[in-house]
Amino acid sequence: MKIIITGATGFVGSEVVRQAIADEGITQAFVLTRKPLPEDLSKNTKLTIIEHKDFSTYPPELLAQLTGAEGCIWAIGGRATQFPDVETARKVSVDYTLAAAKAFTELASKLPEVKKKKGSRKFRFVFCSGKFAEWDQNKNLKMMRDTRLIKGQVEKGLFDIAEANKDTFDVWAVRPGGIVKKYAGVINALTANTSGFIAVDHLARAMLKIALNGHANRIIEANELLKI
């Protein structure tokens, strides 16, 4: 399978890249990135690294470079508090993600399997969301309000795009409760298994499995993620 990976210099995205290299089911990864990757990754022949400065737009020449991609692992975003302000968080998390999904529907429509038999193979978009993501933008939330509403807005927007392109485009949203470093030690590992947290390498492998095989549930909660 050929996939697109974003957020490749971040905590989750960089691990997705490493796990994609190790996964025999991934034959090629198109890595969209603003910054150079570490040298040990940049020279890997399985990766096609594409410098992309503006994640709000996907011109024809860029989509041409991504021809043949069958899915995307989207790992751009984070908590609202990690951004200078809520407006920036919303731009990066909502606007960039939905712009990409809309653009990738064009890639989906050109997959050879889809041309041969309508709906036989869909483009799989896997979004790294977060626990307690909230779709209702008017809901009064006391805990992590901005983050939960932004994640929920992205999820709803993605599923709306999937519904409008149901023959060619699928979406999954994974909701980790928290993400810990791999090899974080016994105590952290036990915490991960009891509180919905997940090790970053486990999360990366789970998202790749979903991209490869799909999953029965389109929204995958923290505890379910630990079983993939």
Distance (Å, whole) CA 204 – CA 191? 18
Per the DSSP assignment, residues forming a β-bridge with 31 are 5, 49
Q: Over the stretch 178-217, which tens digit does the pLDDT of each residue have?
A: 888 876 555 555 555 555 688 899 999 999 999 999 999 9
Question: Is 0.75 surpassed by the pTM of this model?
Answer: yes
Closest CA to 123 of 22, 60, 45, 30: 30
Give the number of other Cβ atoms within 10 Å of residue 13's Cβ: 23
Q: Which domains does the chain have, with CATH numbers?
A: 2-225 (3.40.50.720)
Q: Over the stretch 4-29, which tens digit does the pLDDT of each residue have?
A: 999 999 999 999 999 999 999 999 99
The pLDDT confidence band at residue 177, using thresholds 50, 70 and 90, is confident
Residue 188 has a pLDDT of 58
Residues in CB range of 161: below 8 A, 6 or more apart: 98, 101, 102, 105, 169, 171
Q: Over the stretch 112-143, which tens digit does the pLDDT of each residue have?
A: 754 445 545 799 999 999 999 999 998 888 88
